[in-house]
Amino acid sequence: MQHEKSEEHCPEELFVGESVPDDENPEEAVLFYNETVIDHFTSPRNVGEIDNADGFALVGDPACGDQMKLWIRIDGGYIVDIKFKSFGCPGAIATSSMATVLAMGMHVDDAKLLTDDDVVRSLGGIPANKEHCSLMGVGALHAAIRNYEQRLSRQS
């Protein structure tokens, strides 16, 4: 499950200014992906897996079929490695990539405060009808941190 574009559920093409009909305004909908979003989709950061990770999460969005796995390694309370694999549309992959970039090097307590808005802002915005895509990366990060904390509590 590498980063892949889900044509079945999110059929838009990845062109700046490409017109795409939607249910609400079939003749006026336009998706604009800026260069930062395109860069994070075509060259996502931190793709892969971490063997013996300290935290792991699997999240998905049943509405559009996107899915993400995320692994974290923690040292001294800081995220020292983070990797993900995602199946989804350009917005899902780009926001997941940016979420990992933002989280890298953060203290776990600070990473728990990272929001979808932080990710979207760091990308310079995403189309309004794709904002739900930003939920997956941050949701996976928070779930992986919870998994890490649960593992810690079982050890003590």
Q: What is d(CA 108, CA 129) in angstroms, rounded to the nearest whole number?
A: 30
Phi/psi at 71 (5° precision): -120, 145
Q: What is d(CA 145, CA 89) in angstroms, rounded to the nearest whole number?
A: 25
- Marked catalytic residue, from 133, 138, 140, 144: 133
Token pair belonging to 75: 């040292």
> Does the active-site annotation cover 10?
no
Token pair belonging to 28: 């006026």
- Marked catalytic residue, from 31, 57, 64, 120: 64
> Does the active-site annotation cover 89?
no
Give all strands (DSSP E) within the chain, no chain letters. 55-61, 66-75, 78-87
Question: Which residues participate in catalysis according to the annotation?
Answer: 64, 133
